[in-house]
Each structure stands twice: as structure tokens, then as C-alpha cells.
């Protein structure tokens, strides 16, 4: 009989297992994958964006936004940096507080494996758990490879993003089995797609990238000046956008995708550092330039040409018209469309392309200091399986470390 069984040897599961083991508990860590912590391995382009030094509860989405406060305060980015430094891993800050390994994400995996070994954690990997039962106060895990019994159970199998790497909804299924509520899971930090016919003119722009302000909630959004770099309000991000064959991607779109509700429009400001209406009207005086050339000074030429050909008030061969000849009314309309491009995605690129899952086990079921299920003693749920979803930029790992640590110290 183990003191603790942890199912899922990813970011949160290894943190919880290591800390519990180092406190003298007899811990078994179980994972169905053949290779350890694949998501850490591929994260941050192979360098693992392991935390964000600006982490606050405002960087997370949850039906219960205050739930993450306690765990985040008790295990901070500084705590994880200290661990990284104790293991001699060199790191650097890349962009807006995002910390990456100088060399490789393998170093983070090795560090966590080493911390588990310090806690004398027993590994069962690859090992698939078929069923979980609570029998006379102990958790009994059945599988084709035999039975594992433990006094306490930690569910740490993460979210459903990237099923091709073995992601499953195992924690959600077990949570439901124990009568817990689950907030509807959905792909998040994910590219957005559009109706193929409507997108056809923009598909040619695949590969074009530019800085934009993107808002969920459509045309009612506020002035572009409301967005500050790295200080976006919850529904507004100033980041790069990328055109793809099927729709839009890039950090701006991944961020807003976590807030996007199906059927609702996005509003995109394609010239966030500009106030185009007065600029175009002023530039008009005495100008001999064609409108297409003027917009090419602002954007990649491909975008300027496509935009003037395809977006109303197009149809008037605007690109070839001299700026001086374009009526003020048309210039005003054009400026407005560029600052408030309103478009409605028809969906997301799905779990195959998502970085995380939004939703998960309803936090109202859990104690915020320990991650223990309030109604089921000895059962804990940590990491991405919980309804706490971070922004892009190291926040999701910080949640995995913090929730894993909260649990590992409480077991
Ligand atoms: P995690 O997914 O790490 O671990 C879950 C473990 O459970 C896995 O080892 C899995 O094999 C196992 N498992 C699943 N089902 C099982 C079952 N039925 N039985 C047994 N075991 C099972 N975040 C960030 O902060 N910075 C970044 O740079 C990135 N980059 C990034 C890139 C890509 C491509 C993706 C897909 C994701 C990211 N993320 C990220 C998100 C981050 O990887 C993620 O939020 C954390 O890994 C979640 O940690 P968990 O421990 O909850 O799950």
C-alpha cells in the first residue's frame, strides 16, 4: 500500500510527487506514456517557457477567478527559478516576463525526475489505469498490469490538447465518477478558422504577420489606445497576428481564442499604433501617391493589395486610385474598417493544434489551499485538469508548479 498514487507524470504530477516524497511519504507516480513529460519537451519551441515573472491571478481564466490566488501566492515564479538555479540550469527572459531555458526543455524534465528520485518516488511507466475505486478508505487502481492501492490519490493527467501525444480526459472522467462538476472543456490558445469561401481572399496572405489589437466582443469594443503592451484587459491583447490558409493564428489570436465564444465576432485593429482617419485625410492634400502605395507604407504590401481589393469600400479599384482623388467619406470608412475589422470565426483548429484545454474540474469542488476535493477525502486534482487556464507566456506551467506544490505539501 502506497501513501500516495499520482496519475500523470507531467508538470503538476511530478511536482506533487516530488514534494510529497521528500516529506517522507511513499509515493507511486503512474503515466501511460512511454516517454516522460512530452508536453514539457515540446514546450516553448524546445526551450520550455517555464514561468512568467509577471504572473498574477489576472492572467488566468476560470469560472471562479479567485481560486488560483492562494496556490500562486504560496509557490511563486521566484520559487521555481530558485529550483531551476539549484539544478544549474541557465535561463533567460525573452519577452514580457517569459522565462526560457538557454539550452533545452529536457533540462526541466531531468530536474523534475531528479527531484522525484530525491523523494524516492516509485515509477510505473508506461502503465495504463483502467479504473479507480474507493474501497474502505483506500484508492484501488486496476489495470492490466495489476492492482495499485494508495491511501490518497492525485489526478494530474492534464488537459486534452495534443491527443497525438497521449492527452486524455482521464481526470475529468474520474472526477465525474466521484460526482464532481466539470466546466465544459474546450480547446484554448488555439488558431481560429473561418468559412472556407469567405476566407478564400485572405488565404493568399498565409504567412503575413503583423502587430494588432484583438478584442472579443466585436464592434462595441473600446478605443485602441486602451490596450497597453503586456497589460491587456481580459478581452483585449496587443500582440502579433499571423494569417494562415484556414484562418488566423499568432500570439494575438491564441490569446483571444481562450476568451472567444462560438458565434461571436472578433474585432481586430490592424493599425494599432496609428489614428488613420486624420492621417489619411491630412496625407491627401497635394498627394500624388496611389492609395495602395500609401497603405503599403503601413502594412506588408501583399496585405495592402488584398485588403483594398477585397474589403468594402473596395470594388472601386481603390488601390490604383490616387489618394488625392479618393473622397473623404471613403477614406473615413476605410480607416474605420482597418481599426475595427469585424469577423466571426466558424470554429477553432481543435485540440490537435491547441496548447491547452479551457474548462475542467469545477474549482468549487476543491480546497484552494490544497487542491483536495472537499467532498472526497484523500482525492486531489492538480494542473490543467482543473478549471484554471493561463494566458500564453509561461502561465500554464506556473499554474502546474503552483497547484502541484500546494498538493504535494498538503498530502
Ligand atoms: P501535462 O500534460 O504536463 O501532464 C499530464 C500527464 O498525464 C502526461 O504525462 C500524460 O502522458 C499523462 N496522462 C494523460 N492521460 C493519462 C491516462 N489516462 N493515464 C495515465 N497517464 C495519463 N505552457 C507554458 O506555460 N509554457 C510553454 O512554453 C508551453 N508550451 C506548450 C507547447 C505546446 C505545443 C503545448 C501543447 C502546451 C504548452 N504549454 C506551455 C502548456 C503546458 O504544457 C501545460 O499547461 C502543462 O503541461 C500542464 O501540466 P499538467 O501536469 O497538468 O499536464
* 306-319 pLDDT tens trace: 888 877 665 567 77
Q: Which residues contact 171 (CB under 8 A, 6 or more apart)?
A: 7, 8, 155, 156, 157, 158, 360, 361, 381, 385
**Do 163 and 89 share a structural domain?**
yes
Q: Write down the pLDDT at residue 291.
A: 87
Q: Are 241 and 209 in contact (CB under 8 A)?
A: yes
Banded pLDDT at 226 (limits 50, 70, 90): very low
How many domains are there within the chain?
2
Grid-cell match 504535494, residue found: 408
Q: Write down the pLDDT at residue 315.
A: 56
Domain-located, residue 257: yes
Domain-located, residue 223: no
Closest residue CA from atom 37 of ligand 1: 355
Nearest Cα to Cα of residue 154 among 68, 33, 29: 29
Banded pLDDT at 232 (limits 50, 70, 90): very low
**Choice from 53, 355, 390 to test ligand 1 binding pocket (greatest atom count within 8 A of CB):** 355
Q: Write down the pLDDT at residue 314.
A: 53
pLDDT at 252 > cutoff 80 = yes
Closest residue CA from atom 13 of ligand 1: 157
Q: Write down the pLDDT at residue 219.
A: 37
- Provide mean pLDDT across the span 348-355: 98
Domain-located, residue 152: yes
Tens digits of residue pLDDT in 23-71: 999 999 999 999 999 999 999 999 999 999 999 999 999 999 999 999 9
Domain-located, residue 276: yes
Percent of the chain with pLDDT over 70: 94
Tens digits of residue pLDDT in 87-126: 999 999 998 999 999 999 999 999 999 999 999 999 999 9
Alpha helices (runs of H) in 324-367, residue ranges in sequence order = 328-339
**Do 211 and 152 share a structural domain?**
no
**Do 364 and 337 share a structural domain?**
no
Closest residue CA from atom 24 of ligand 1: 394
Tens digits of residue pLDDT in 274-297: 999 999 999 888 888 888 888 888
Q: Which residues line ligand 1 (CB under 6 A)?
A: 7-13, 31-33, 37, 39, 42-44, 48-49, 128-129, 156-158, 161-162, 166-168, 170, 355-356, 383-385, 394-397, 400
DSSP secondary structure string for all residues of 359-373: EEE-GGGB-TTT-BB
Is the reported ipTM for this assembly greater than 0.90? yes
**Do 317 and 339 share a structural domain?**
yes
**Do 170 and 272 share a structural domain?**
no
Closest residue CA from atom 26 of ligand 1: 394
**Do 338 and 386 share a structural domain?**
no
Closest residue CA from atom 19 of ligand 1: 32
The CA-CA-CA angle for residues 395, 400, 405, to 5°, reads 125
The last residue of a domain, from among 348, 366, 399 = 348
Closest residue CA from atom 21 of ligand 1: 31
**Do 207 and 139 share a structural domain?**
no
Tens digits of residue pLDDT in 357-399: 999 999 999 999 999 999 999 999 999 999 999 999 999 999 9
Q: Write down the pLDDT at residue 227.
A: 39
How far apart CA 330 and CA 358 sit, in angstroms, is 42
**Do 169 and 31 share a structural domain?**
yes
CA gyration radius, the chain: 25
Tens digits of residue pLDDT in 177-220: 999 999 999 999 999 999 999 999 899 999 999 999 999 964 33
**Do 58 and 132 share a structural domain?**
yes
Domain-located, residue 115: yes
Domain-located, residue 224: no
In whole numbers, what is the pLDDT of the chain averaged over residues? 92
Q: Are 118 and 22 in contact (CB under 8 A)?
A: yes
Task: Calculate helix-pair angle for 77-86, 395-410, nearest 10 degrees.
Answer: 80
Distances in whole angstroms, Cα of residue 54 to Cα of each of 140, 214, 259, 379, 399 = 41, 21, 20, 31, 13
Distance 385 CA to ligand 1 centre (A): 10
Banded pLDDT at 223 (limits 50, 70, 90): very low
Q: Write down the pLDDT at residue 321.
A: 83
**Residue 198 belongs to domain spanning:** 192-218+233-348
Domain-located, residue 228: no
Distance 280 CA to ligand 1 centre (A): 48
Nearest Cα to Cα of residue 52 among 105, 17, 91: 91
Amino acid at each position: 500500500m502506497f501513501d500516495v498514487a499520482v496519475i500523470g507524470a507531467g508538470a503538476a504530477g511530478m511536482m506533487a510527487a516530488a514534494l510529497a516524497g521528500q516529506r517522507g511519504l511513499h509515493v507511486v507516480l503512474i503515466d501511460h506514456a512511454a516517454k516522460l513529460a512530452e508536453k514539457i519537451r515540446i514546450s516553448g519551441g524546445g526551450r520550455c517557457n517555464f514561468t512568467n515573472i509577471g504572473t498574477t491571478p489576472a492572467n488566468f481564466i476560470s469560472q471562479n477567478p479567485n481560486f488560483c490566488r492562494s496556490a500562486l501566492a504560496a509557490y511563486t515564479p521566484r520559487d521555481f527559478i530558485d529550483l531551476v538555479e539549484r539544478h544549474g540550469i541557465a535561463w533567460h527572459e525573452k519577452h514580457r516576463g517569459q522565462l526560457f531555458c538557454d539550452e533545452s526543455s529536457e533540462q526541466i524534465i531531468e530536474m523534475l525526475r531528479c527531484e522525484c528520485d530525491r523523494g524516492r518516488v516509485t515509477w510505473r511507466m508506461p502503465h495504463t489505469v483502467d479504473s479507480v475505486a474507493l474501497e474502505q478508505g483506500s484508492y484501488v487502481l486496476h489495470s492490466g498490469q495489476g492492482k495499485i492501492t494508495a491511501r490518497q490519490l492525485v489526478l494530474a493527467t492534464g488537459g486534452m490538447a495534443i491527443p497525438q501525444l497521449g492527452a486524455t480526459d482521464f481526470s475529468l472522467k474520474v472526477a465525474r465518477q466521484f460526482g464532481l462538476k466539470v466546466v465544459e472543456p474546450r480547446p484554448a490558445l488555439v488558431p481560429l478558422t473561418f468559412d472556407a469561401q469567405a476566407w478564400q481572399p485572405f488565404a493568399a496572405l498565409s504567412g503575413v504577420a503583423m502587430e494588432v489589437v484583438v478584442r472579443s466582443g466585436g464592434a462595441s469594443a473600446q478605443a485602441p489606445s486602451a490596450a497597453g503592451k503586456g497589460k491587456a484587459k481580459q478581452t483585449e491583447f496587443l500582440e502579433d497576428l499571423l494569417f494562415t490558409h484556414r484562418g488566423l493564428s499568432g500570439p494575438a489570436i491564441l490569446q483571444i481564442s481562450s476568451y472567444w465564444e462560438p458565434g461571436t465576432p472578433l474585432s481586430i485593429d490592424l493599425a494599432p499604433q496609428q489614428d488613420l482617419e486624420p492621417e489619411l485625410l491630412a496625407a491627401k492634400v497635394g498627394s500624388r501617391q496611389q492609395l495602395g502605395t500609401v497603405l503599403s507604407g503601413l502594412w506588408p504590401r501583399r496585405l495592402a493589395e488584398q485588403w483594398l481589393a477585397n474589403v468594402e469600400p473596395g470594388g472601386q479599384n481603390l488601390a490604383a486610385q490616387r489618394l488625392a482623388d479618393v473622397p473623404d467619406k471613403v477614406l473615413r470608412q476605410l480607416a474605420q474598417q482597418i481599426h475595427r475589422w469585424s469577423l466571426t470565426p466558424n470554429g477553432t483548429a481543435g485540440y490537435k493544434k491547441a496548447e491547452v484545454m479551457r474548462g475542467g474540474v469545477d474549482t468549487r469542488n476543491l480546497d484552494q489551499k490544497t487542491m483536495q476535493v472537499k467532498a472526497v477525502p484523500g482525492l486531489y486534482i492538480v494542473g490543467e485538469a482543473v478549471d484554471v487556464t493561463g494566458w500564453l507566456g509561461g502561465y500554464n506551467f506556473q499554474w502546474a508548479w503552483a497547484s502541484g506544490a500546494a498538493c504535494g505539501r498538503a498530502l
